[in-house]
Amino acid sequence: RLNACAWRKELAPSTALRTGLGHDLAKWTEFQARYRKELSLPAQKGAIKDLDRLAHVQTITLLYGALDPEQGHWIQNIITHWC
């Protein structure tokens, strides 16, 4: 059982960005650049800082979903390398 205490929706790729990718690996480089740009916005930067502070005092688990497991790994890689 997962004890979820927060949903950081602002860290998810925007709907426009997600639908623009369209499960097309050829668009992955563009997706990464645009997602990193989204993560640079003030609200997203604040959420990343909050998670970083929390991770220093307790274990955190980040959940994400994707229809294609490979694309889920793509998102994980971006967040892992960003933090």
pLDDT of residue 25: 80
pLDDT of residue 82: 60
Looking at residue 14, what DSSP letter applies? P
Are 28 and 34 in contact, with CB atoms under 8 Å apart?
no
Q: Which residues of the chain have pLDDT under 70?
A: 1-4, 65-76, 78-83
Best CA proximity match to 39, nearest among 75, 2, 64: 75
Look at residue 2 in the predicted model and tell me its pLDDT: 62
Rounded Cα distance between 61 and 19, Å, is 25
Look up residue 50 and give its two tokens: 């909050």
